[in-house]
Amino acid sequence: MKQLFLKTALLLFAITFFNCENNDSEDQLPPITQTGANTFGAIVDGRVFVAKDKTGYTPPGGGTPKGIVVTVGSSLPDYEYFGIDVRNYEDIYIYIYIPNETPKEVTYNFEKSPGVRASLERPNYPHIFCFINNVLFISYQNSGSITFNKVDYNKGIYSGIFSVKLKNIDNEDQIIEILDGRFDL
């Protein structure tokens, strides 16, 4: 009877240990790289956020929506921009806007976001906004920055780091932080 109890206890311990180990790896940011690894992560309002593709079938037409989408060029006449859309398909969506088709290897300061993706408003400055559980948070004047450490237009590699404070669009007293942001697209 003691042997059965001991074996059961060891089995439960092993299962718990392996489950904890797997959960820890999911709660980590991707490493900072410059190889085009197609990664994006940050600490959003105190929680680890990693962009993830949606799972399952999505009608119409099917396919799997991507967790990271980069827009380079223009979709409107005489309007060039660089946009990064990222989401985890659970509770967080982030959009970063740079007003040139090809970002440069420099640091851009975020300014007040209109809270919408590239549009007819055509802002000529970098901005970022984030939805957390359908609440919109926007950047404001000098609220943070993004640094492109590598831009290789020919290979399509865009890598860098960022951090920013964002205000709730409906309650400016509510401020969240996005820290340790990194991307390698």
- Whole-angstrom Cα distance, residue 29 to residue 42? 7
44 strand-pairing partners? 47, 178
- Whole-angstrom Cα distance, residue 8 to residue 156? 53
- Whole-angstrom Cα distance, residue 2 to residue 22? 30
Find the helix or strand (DSSP H, E) in which 14 lies: helix 2-26
Q: What is the pLDDT of residue 153?
A: 85
Model's pTM, two decimal places? 0.81
Q: pLDDT tens digit string along 92-145?
A: 999 999 988 789 999 999 999 999 887 666 678 999 999 999 999 999 999 999
Q: pLDDT tens digit string along 19-69?
A: 444 444 467 999 999 999 999 999 999 999 999 988 866 666 667 788 999
